[in-house]
A and B are shown apart, each in its own frame.
Chain A
Amino acid sequence: MFETIFVDAANWLRNLLASINLSPFVVEIFMHVVKMVVILVFVILNVMWLVYMERKVSARFQCRVGPDRNGPYGLAQILNDVAKLISKEMIIPDHANKIMYLLAPILIFAPPMAILAVTPMGEGMAAVDLNLGLYYFIAIAAINTIVIWMAGWSSNNKYSLVGGMRAVAQMVSYEIPLLLALVGIIVLTGTLNLNGIVEAQRDVWLIFTQPLAFFIYFIAAMAEANRAPFDLVEGESEIISGPYTEYSGMGFAMFFLAEYANLLIMAIMTTTLFLGGWLAPFGWTFLPSWLWFIIKVYFVIWVAMWLRWTFPRLRVDHLMNLAWKFLVPLAIANIFVTGLAKYFIG
C-alpha cells in the first residue's frame, strides 16, 4: 500500500488535471512544477535534519549528548539556528564585487536541486527519467566549483581567494578519479540511465562487483562534497572559513546548508550507483522501496560523519598526491580489469 503512495499521488494529480480539460502540455508543465517544489521541500527538510544529525552524531563520537535543551531531544534547535541566521544582517564588504558576491549564495543550491531531478528515489520515482542520467549528474556536479570560486573571488579577501583556489584545485583534481571510477559501472551495466543502473543491481549490488570503483568513488565524492578529511576549502585553522569568510547572515547560511545538500547528493549517488538504490536487500520487501532508499542514504551519511570525526585534515600536497598518484592510476587499472572481465566472461 505504501509502496506506490507517491506514484499514486502523482497519477491522481495528473488525472485530476486532465479531467478538467487542460491540454496535455499544460498538465505536463504543471506536474514538473509540482515535482520541483517537492524536490525543494525534500532538500530543505533533509538539510535541516542533517545539521541536527551532524551535531548529534559528532556528540556521540565524543561521548557527549549534543543539543537537547530546545524541544524534545533538542529538535527545535534546527528552527532556532535557522531563525538566528535569517535575523542576522548580511554585510557586503566595501570592495567586493556586489553582483557576484550576492549571486554566489543563490546559485550554490542550484546544482544539488538539479541533480535530484534525475535520481530515482523509489520504484519509478525519478522526477525525470533521463537517458543520460549519469552523464547529467557528473556535468551538473562540476558546476559547484564555479559557484564556490565566485564566492571566493568576489569577496576580495585573501582568505576567500585562497579558499576559492583550493576549491578549484581540489574539485577539478578529484573529478577525474570520480569519472574514471564510474566508467567501470557503465561498462558493467551498459547504460547511463540511473534507473537502468539500479535495475542492473537486482541480482548483486555493484559494490560487490566493483569494490575498487566504490572505494575510489567514495573518497573522490567526499572530496567533491568538501567533507572532512578533505575540507581544505574551509580549513578553519588555516584560512578561517575559506570562500565563506566574508559572508554573514543568510548568505553564510546558504553555503552552510549547501554543504549538507552536497553531502546528501553524495550519499544519494553512492546509494544509487553502488548500493542498489531503492532495491530491498535480501528481498526484504516488507518496507517500501523509497524507505529502503532513505535508510541506505542515511547509512552512507552516517559513514561520512564517522570519517569526519575520525580523521584529521589532509595537507594540500598530500591531497593532490592522493588524487593524481594513487586514485587516478587505480581507477585506470580498474577500468582495464573490468574491460577484460567483461570481454572474457560477460
Chain B
Amino acid sequence: MYGKGLLKGLKVSLGWFLRKDLTEDYPDVMPNLPDAFHGNPIFEYDKCIACNLCVTACPNRVIKLETETVGKKKVVTAYDFNMQYCMFCGFCQEACRTGAIRFGKDFELTKYDRKKIKIRFVTPEQVEKKKQEVLQAEKEAAEKAAKAAEKPEAKATEKPEAKAAKKAEARAAAPKKSVEES
C-alpha cells in the first residue's frame, strides 16, 4: 500500500522525539568518563623509586627525571613532565612498577602561560625532606648493623647488604647518562 513506509518513518521519528536526549551538558555537568581515561598526569613522589623506566618508555621524551645519590640510595630531585609533547599514550603508566606516574580524569589542561605547560612535579622541600629521611634511615640501619656485628652471627647479615650497595652504585651511573641525552 502506498504511504505505509511514510507512516512507519513518522512513527520512528516520533519515537526519537520522545526519547531522552543524549547530549552531555559538559561545562555545567562533567561528563561520565571511563576508568581507563588518560587525562592529567599524576605523580606520587613517595612511590617513585627512580628506576627510569617511564623515561625510556616515553616515545616523545616527555619525562625528564633527575636523581641524586644520597648515601647509598637514589633520591629524585626533579620529575618534569613536558605536557606539550605528551600524546597521552599511557606507556609511562604501563611501565611504572610502583604506580608513581599515572593518568587522572581531568582533561581541562589548557594554561594561560606557556611556561606552565611543563609540569614540575617535585618541589625542593620534598627533595630536602626525602634526603633527611634517607639519611635518617641509613643512620638507623648502621646502628642496627653495629649492634648486630657485636653478636656472633654478624657476618651472615653483613654480606647481602654490601652486595646491595654495590648494585645501587652501578644503577646510579646509568640513569645519569639518559638524563643527559634527553
- A binding-site residues for B, Cβ under 8 Å: 57, 59-65, 306-307, 309-311
How distant is B161 from chain A, measured CB to nearest CB, in Å? 66
Taken together as a complex, chains A and B put the C-alpha atoms of A59 and B16 apart, in Å, by 10
A310/B13 in contact, CB under 8 A: yes
Q: Which residue of A lies closest to B25 (CB)?
A: A65
Residues 7-47 of chain B, each 1 if its beta carbon lies under 8 Å from chain A, else 0? 00110111011011111010000000000000000000000
B21/A60 in contact, CB under 8 A: yes
Contact of A65 among B9, B12, B21 (CB under 8 A): B21
* CB neighbours of A63 from chain B (8 A): 16, 19-23
Of A59, A63, A306, A310, the most chain B CB neighbours within 10 A belong to A310
28 contacts between A and B (CB under 8 A): A57-B17, A59-B21, A60-B17, A60-B21, A61-B13, A61-B16, A61-B17, A62-B16, A63-B16, A63-B19, A63-B20, A63-B21, A63-B22, A64-B21, A64-B22, A64-B23, A65-B21, A65-B23, A306-B14, A306-B17, A307-B10, A309-B13, A310-B9, A310-B10, A310-B12, A310-B13, A311-B6, A311-B9
How distant is B21 from chain A, measured CB to nearest CB, in Å? 5
Q: Which residue of B lies closest to A312 (CB)?
A: B9
* CB neighbours of B19 from chain A (8 A): 63
* CB neighbours of A64 from chain B (8 A): 21-23
* CB neighbours of B21 from chain A (8 A): 59-60, 63-65
Taken together as a complex, chains A and B put the C-alpha atoms of A184 and B97 apart, in Å, by 84
Q: Which residue of B lies closest to A65 (CB)?
A: B23
B13/A306 in contact, CB under 8 A: yes
* CB neighbours of A62 from chain B (8 A): 16
Residues 71-98 of chain B, each 1 if its beta carbon lies under 8 Å from chain A, else 0? 0000000000000000000000000000
How distant is B13 from chain A, measured CB to nearest CB, in Å? 4
Taken together as a complex, chains A and B put the C-alpha atoms of A62 and B10 apart, in Å, by 13
* CB neighbours of A311 from chain B (8 A): 6, 9
Q: Which residue of A lies closest to B19 (CB)?
A: A63
Q: Which residue of B lies closest to A308 (CB)?
A: B13
Of B17, B22, B23, the most chain A CB neighbours within 10 A belong to B17
Q: Which residue of A lies closest to B8 (CB)?
A: A310
How distant is B62 from chain A, measured CB to nearest CB, in Å? 35
Q: Which residues between 123 and 138 of chain B lie within 8 Å of chain A, taking CB atoms?
A: none
Taken together as a complex, chains A and B put the C-alpha atoms of A5 and B171 apart, in Å, by 92
Q: Which residue of A lies closest to B15 (CB)?
A: A61
Q: Which residues between 147 and 171 of chain B lie within 8 Å of chain A, taking CB atoms?
A: none
Given contacts A60-B21, A64-B22, 16 further A-B contacts (CB under 8 A): A59-B21, A60-B17, A61-B16, A61-B17, A63-B16, A63-B20, A63-B21, A64-B21, A64-B23, A65-B21, A65-B23, A65-B25, A306-B13, A307-B10, A310-B10, A311-B6
Q: Which residue of B lies closest to A303 (CB)?
A: B10
* CB neighbours of A309 from chain B (8 A): 13
* CB neighbours of B22 from chain A (8 A): 63-64
Taken together as a complex, chains A and B put the C-alpha atoms of A121 and B143 apart, in Å, by 100
B10/A306 in contact, CB under 8 A: yes
* CB neighbours of B13 from chain A (8 A): 61, 306, 309-310
Taken together as a complex, chains A and B put the C-alpha atoms of A62 and B14 apart, in Å, by 10
* CB neighbours of A307 from chain B (8 A): 10
* CB neighbours of B20 from chain A (8 A): 63
Taken together as a complex, chains A and B put the C-alpha atoms of A311 and B25 apart, in Å, by 29
* CB neighbours of B17 from chain A (8 A): 57, 60-61, 306
How distant is A327 from chain B, measured CB to nearest CB, in Å? 12
